[in-house]
Amino acid sequence: MRISERKLSAFFKKHHTIFVSVALALYSLHLALTYQKDVPRGYIVRETLSVMVTPVERLILAVRGGAVGAWSRYVFLVGLTDENAELQRRILELQDENNRLKEEAASGRRLKDIFEYADAAPFNATAASVTAYGAGLWSRTVTINKGAAAGMDKDLAVITSSGVVGRVIEAGTRSSTVLLATDVRSAIDVFVERSRTKGVVEGNGEDGLILKYIRLDDDVSVGDRILTSGIAGVFPKGLVVGEVVRIEKSKDNFFKYIEVRPAANLATVEDVIVVTDTGFHSND
Amino acid sequence: MKEIIIFFPIALLYAALKGTLFASIPLPDVPLLMVFYAAYRRPSVEGVLLAFVLGYMEDVLGGGIIGSASFALIAVFLAAHLLAKKVQFSTRGTRAGGAFAAVLIKGALVYTVIRLSNLTAHILTDVLIQAVVTAVFAPAILTLTARLALRLAPAPWKGDAS
C-alpha cells in the first residue's frame, strides 16, 4: 500500500505541471461555457484591471496628442533659415491654433449633435466618451468613461445620433464595457421600416450585421432601413440600426441571408449617448 | 517566480496600447508569446498560472467570453510544454513556426468555445493575419523575453545556452 502510494505521489510530482494545466483548463472551460448564465463574474478582477489600465490608456492618448503636435512642429521647423524663422514660427503657431480650433469645432459639433439628440429624445440619456477599443480578436467592445457612479448599469442602450452602437455589458465604478452591435453575442429585435417585417439583427463578429429570421416570402429590399422594435426592452423603439446592403437565399431554403451595414460607424465611434431609461416594451 | 510576475505589467501595458494607439493595427500576440516562452523554457506551475492569468486578463479587458482565452492559453502552454520535449525552440525558424502554430491553436480553441456557446464566428482571416504577424515578431520578442528573464533570474533556464 505504501509502495503504491509512493508511486502515485512520485507520478504526481513528475507530472504535476500537466495535472495543474488540465485542472485549470477545465475550470476555464467551465467559466466559458457557463458565461451566458446571468451570474456576475470576475467583478473584483475587472475592477482591479480597470483601475490599473484606464489611467495608462488616458496617459497614452494624452501623450499621443502632445507627440503629434510636437512632431508636426519639429518637422516644419527643420531646415528653416534665420531670416524667416520668426515668420515660419508665426505661421506654425497659426497653423497649430487653426488645427486646434478645427478639432475643437469638430468636437463641438459632435457634442452639439449628441446633446441636441439627447435633449430631443423621448427618454433620459447621458453622454459619454469612448476611452478604449476592445483588444480581443473575437469580440467587439469599447470602454466608455462612465461607470456605475454615473448611473451606468448592465443592459443600458448605447447609441449615437446616427444610430445604435450597442449595450452596456459590464458597469465598473468609473468605466463601463459596451458590447457593440457587431459582436457575435449581440442580438437586437428589429423591424424593416418600409414593410414592418420583424427580425433579429446579430453581429457578424467583424464590422457588419446580419438580419435573421426573415422568411423567403417576406418583403425586404436592398436599401431598406432597419429600426429597433423595442420588444426586448433594452432599446427604445424606432432607433436606426442600419441599412440592408445584400440579400441572398440562405442554405436552409427557408430564411433569407441579409447583410446590414450599421448606421453608426462603430469602428471609429468617439462620443456616445447612454439611454438611462429601461424597460422599453413596445406593444406592436 | 519574479520573472513570471514581470510579464504581468508588460501584458497590461500591451493591452492599454492595443486598446488605444494600435486599435486597428494587427499586433503580435505578446501574452501568447510569453506563455509560449514560459512553456518551453520554464515548464512549471507558475507558467500555468501565468497562462491562466494572462488569458483571464485578455478576456476581461477585451470584453470576450470569460474563460475562453485562459482555456486556449493553458492549452497552448500544455502543447508547447509537451512539444518542447521533442523540439528545441532554439532557432529563429522553430520559434517563428512554433508561435505561428500556437496562434492557430489558440484561434481554433476560442472558435470552438464560441461555437459551443451557440454563437457564430467567421474570422479565420483575422486569425491567420495574427498568426503571421506573431510569427514574424516572435524570434525578436522571445529573445527580449529571455534576456529580461535572465536579468531577473540569473539561474539558467532550459536552453539558455542557445
* Final residue belonging to a domain, choices A98, A120, A142: A120
pLDDT value of residue B123? 64
Shared domain check, A261 and A144:
yes
Q: Which residues of chain B are modeled with pLDDT < 50?
A: 159-162
Whose grid coordinates read 497590461?
A: B12
pLDDT value of residue A76? 57
Shared domain check, A180 and A91:
no
What digits encode the pLDDT tens for the residues A67-111?
Answer: 766 766 666 555 556 666 677 767 777 776 777 677 677 777 777
Q: Shortest Cα distance from A79 to chain B (angstroms)?
A: 30
pLDDT value of residue B154? 61
Q: Which residues of chain A are modeled with pLDDT < 50?
A: 283-284
* CB-nearest partner of B16 from A22, A46, A57: A57
Identify the closest residue of chain A to B111 by CA–CA distance: A138
Number of domains, chain A = 2
A30 touches chain B (CB under 8 A): yes
Does the distance separating the beta carbons of B119 and A185 come in below 8 Å?
yes
Query: Cβ(B14)–Cβ(A56) under 8 Å?
Result: no
Shared domain check, A158 and A46:
no
What digits encode the pLDDT tens for the residues B39-82?
Answer: 887 778 888 898 898 998 888 887 778 888 899 999 999 999 88
Of A195, A197, A234, nearest in space to A212 by CA:
A197
Does the distance separating the beta carbons of B63 and A49 come in below 8 Å?
no
DSSP chain A: -HHHHHHHHHHHHHTHHHHHHHHHHHHHHHHHHTTTSS---SHHHHHHHHHHHHHHHHHHHHHHHHHHHHHHHHHHHTT--HHHHHHHHHHHHHHHHHHHHHHHHHHHHHHHHHHHHHHHSSS-EEEEEEEEE---SS--EEEES--GGGT--TT-EEE-SSSEEEEEEEE-SS-EEEEETTSTT-EEEEEETTT--EEEEEE-SSS-EEEES-BTTS---TT-EEEE---SSSSPTT-EEEEEEEEEE-TTSSBEEEEEEESS-TTT--EEEEE---------
Facing residues of A246 across strands?
Answer: A259
Residue A10 CA to residue A75 CA, distance in Å, equals: 66
Shared domain check, A151 and A48:
no
pLDDT value of residue B16? 83
B20 contact residues in A (CB cutoff 8 A): 57, 60-61, 64, 131-133
A169 contact residues in B (CB cutoff 8 A): 63
* CB-nearest partner of A136 from B51, B58, B77: B58
A94 touches chain B (CB under 8 A): no
Residue A186 CA to residue A164 CA, distance in Å, equals: 12
* Final residue belonging to a domain, choices A95, A120, A145: A120
Shared domain check, A267 and A148:
yes
Facing residues of B55 across strands?
Answer: none
Residue B9 CA to residue A126 CA, distance in Å, equals: 34
Q: What is chain B's length?
A: 162
Shared domain check, A14 and A77:
yes
pLDDT value of residue A39? 54
pLDDT value of residue B162? 41
Shared domain check, A220 and A276:
yes
Q: What is chain A's length?
A: 284
Does the distance separating the beta carbons of B20 and A61 come in below 8 Å?
yes
Instruction: Give the domain extent around A109.
Output: 1-120
Shared domain check, A284 and A177:
yes
DSSP B72-123: HHHHHHHHHHHHTTT--TTSHHHHHHHHHHHHHHHHHHHHHHHHHTT-----
* Final residue belonging to a domain, choices A120, A137, A164: A120
* Percent of all residues in chain B with a pLDDT value above 90, rounded to a whole number: 25
CB under 8 Å, gap of 24 or more: what pairs does B47-51 form?
B47/A17, B47/B4, B47/B77, B47/B81, B48/A17, B48/A20, B48/A21, B48/A24, B48/B74, B48/B77, B49/A24, B49/B4, B50/B4, B50/B7, B50/B8, B51/A21, B51/A24, B51/B76, B51/B77
Shared domain check, A225 and A186:
yes
Shared domain check, A99 and A6:
yes
Count of C-beta atoms within a 10 Å radius of residue A163: 21
Interface A:B, Cβ pairs < 8 A: 168
DSSP state of B157: P
A46 contact residues in B (CB cutoff 8 A): 60
- Residue A76 identity: F
Shared domain check, A174 and A144:
yes
